[in-house]
Structure 1
């Protein structure tokens, strides 16, 4: 909510906003933290050099089963949380089922982000244009039509999914059957790093240098 916001960063930094002020909260680690996802004030996850969980009172480290750095973390519910992990030796997709984390190897393909309209419709995007789709049972590879690094993904529905990345800025859109490039090159040399929206007609993308913000509506 607007009075319960979390931010994470280097050296185990965790900040909390209570609606009026930001304050530092002890994380119990000095490792860099790169992503945060919350389901409720007493169920917050953080990914980075380790996986942390907040139970409403304290932060604690949770065994993830991997020694690789953990990147983006996202979930559809408190018992369906996904995270990516990877380094020079390979990549993994991690899943939390409400009690333990498990790991799926992605070989030497590294993934950057997750998002989905539901727990049975989840997308992962990553290096060399890699896109995976989860149907609630298995992950399968889907052609993106690009070999550019994809760094962010967001969806309003199963037929309205967006991904961003590319060395000069690229936006891809999925219409329920195929992925297509709907924007490319106009932000050179700004790599697009994130995408989010409030609805299918209100979608925002941001770039890595901090001076690129794009706003648009679906192009089909």
Structure 2
């Protein structure tokens, strides 16, 4: 059997026996063209085994967010939103005005103060023009709260387009290009600005750790943001971070050679 190029984009768990992984599965088409068929991929771990959940879409799934075992949300390419109620998946689509050649995707979802939010992006002119969206689910309809355009010399981000994060004291943040933003309930405030994309953030208000592109890792001690220069590696893309009161892990991959290698930092 030939190997196929599958991709896993998101993981989320509520417990050691409730873990979700999402992505896309590519199979060889027995009747090309096209040579490959892409389908959505959602898999669940119950503590002893992995079970694939079939959904009737042919779009990649980029993010999964589990509130509890019977309330799971996912989103991805083509504006598709997936919701699992414990027994079956419902499929919804967030629609925007776009041309046939545009590529619209949903990047991240989160629930905060009983409100469900979603981040999206539409790529026009082969990515030369990017429109970012901030949606809220109101009465089972997805409403656009705001949007902004990145094009040419216009590089001002209204929020972090990569992902949301909710802290232990229930503050909502977003991060990505532009740095880190805090949501006031009506607008996003840029609390840490950097020229490097922030790929992940974890911690609480007096102890945040941020991972970033091109080997940059940052720490916030409640007063000041500082780069952890001892972790700087120009050839490394840091992709994730985990932290508690005693230790921290930062992960990424090294692009300096072939094959690429995974890098894990562990601090106490």
What's the secondary structure of 2:236's corresponding residue? coil
1:40 shift after superposition: 0.8
Identify the residue that residue 40 of structure 1 maps to in structure 2.
68
1-structure distance, mates of 2:242, 2:220: 14
Asked if residue 201 in structure 1 is aligned to residue 246 in structure 2, the reply is: yes
Identify the residue that residue 71 of structure 1 maps to in structure 2.
107
- Cα 1:202–1:57, aligned 2, differ >3 Å: closer, same or farther? same
- Cα 1:130–1:106, aligned 2, differ >3 Å: closer, same or farther? farther
The equivalent position to 2:182 in structure 1, one of 130, 133, 154, is 133
8 A contact 1:76–1:119 mirrored in 2: no
With normalisation by structure 1, the TM-score equals 0.83
2-structure distance, mates of 1:32, 1:165: 24
Asked if residue 153 in structure 1 is aligned to residue 204 in structure 2, the reply is: no
1:98 shift after superposition: 7.1
Paired residue total: 211
Q: 4+ residue runs of structure 1 moved beyond 4 angstroms? A: none
1-structure distance, mates of 2:139, 2:219: 31
Over residues 55-102 of structure 1, what are the superposed CA-to-partner deviations in whole Å (9 max), with x where a residue is unaligned? 11111123435473011223346x233332113331122333674433
- Cα 1:62–1:161, aligned 2, differ >3 Å: closer, same or farther? farther
Asked if residue 52 in structure 1 is aligned to residue 98 in structure 2, the reply is: no
Residue range with higher mean Cα deviation, 80-89 or 11-20: 80-89
8 A contact 1:123–1:134 mirrored in 2: yes
1-structure distance, mates of 2:44, 2:209: 29
What's the secondary structure of 2:167's corresponding residue? strand
Q: Which has the higher contact order (CA 8 A, sep 6+)?
A: 1
1:175 shift after superposition: 2.7
Identify the residue that residue 20 of structure 1 maps to in structure 2.
48
2-structure distance, mates of 1:51, 1:14: 13
Q: Which has the larger radius of gyration?
A: 2
Identify the residue that residue 211 of structure 1 maps to in structure 2.
262
What's the secondary structure of 1:51's corresponding residue? strand
8 A contact 2:217–2:232 mirrored in 1: no
Identify the residue that residue 116 of structure 1 maps to in structure 2.
166
The equivalent position to 1:90 in structure 2, one of 131, 136, 143, is 131
What's the secondary structure of 1:27's corresponding residue? coil
- Cα 1:81–1:195, aligned 2, differ >3 Å: closer, same or farther? farther
With normalisation by structure 2, the TM-score equals 0.70
8 A contact 2:217–2:231 mirrored in 1: no
